[in-house]
Amino acid sequence: MSVLDPQTKLLAAIAYGEASPANLKDELTGIAHTVMNRCRIWGNKTVEQLIAADPNYTYVVQGKSKRFNNFMEICEIKQLTKDSGKLLAWESAQEVLANSISDPSHGAFWWDGVDFSTNFSRHPKVIDGFKFGSPDHNIFGVKEQLRKTKIYWIIKNKNTGKEVTSKVRGEYTCVWLSTAAIGKTIFWKHSPEYLAATGCKEYR
């Protein structure tokens, strides 16, 4: 019996659970790469450690995705041959973990599926502010949402001891910038202006 490696299995299940039913190779690979991009830059975490550090990173691990759950029920490699989509997700995860395949997400650390469109007005990235890195990333035909924001340095008032705002540290118009769009998935990273203005880590 050839048992599935737990790390590869979890990565493949996330990619399979988050990707669209079309099971596109680049979409599956892009999601797997996005997960590992964040793992690697964030202290070389395992996939399990990343999910523990950020439980809301991917909703499928919360037991709400039939595709994810179905994949996680698989125990042996031979079971993958019964479903071409699952097999493709497994192969993509293997290649991404081995660094043997290019990154279709173009360095992303996050992604969104159809909920970006169906829950648009309440979506966190819409509330934060986002723009597309290229017009062809706008696969759902939505309008960019820019939020001009100023960030101030915080200093302590010598007389009162209280923290107060000082000079402007930086400005940004969006938190999120798309890097690619494949199938029904948009890939994201933080915008350079947001990172410069806030000093935020690119993977947090």
**Amino acid identity at 151:** I
In tens, the pLDDT along 161-187 reads 677 667 778 999 999 999 999 999 999
Q: What is the mean pLDDT of residues 138-163?
A: 86
Average confidence (pLDDT) over 186-198: 97
Give this prediction's pTM: 0.91
List, in order, residues 6 or more apart from 13 with CB less than 8 Å away.
60, 68, 71, 72, 89
Q: In this structure, what DSSP letter does residue 5 have?
A: P
What is the rounded CA–CA span in Å between residue 131 and residue 192? Answer: 12
Interior angle at CA 106, CA 54 and CA 56, nearest 5: 15
In angstroms, rounded to a whole number, what is the distance separating the alpha carbons of residues 15 and 49?
Answer: 17
Rg of the chain on CA atoms, in Å: 19
Distance CA 53, CA 87 (A): 28
- Residue 89: closest CA among 181, 180, 26: 26
Chain segment 24-76, per-residue pLDDT in tens? 999 999 999 999 999 999 999 999 999 999 999 999 998 889 999 999 998 88
Alpha carbon distance 149, 143 (integer Å): 19
pLDDT category at 130 given cuts 50, 70, 90 is very high
The one-letter amino acid at 59: Y
* H-helix segments, 73-146: 77-80, 84-97, 115-118, 124-128
**The predicted structure's pLDDT at residue 143:** 97
What angle, rounded to 10 degrees, do the helices at 25-41 and 84-97 form? 30
Average pLDDT of span 104-112 = 98
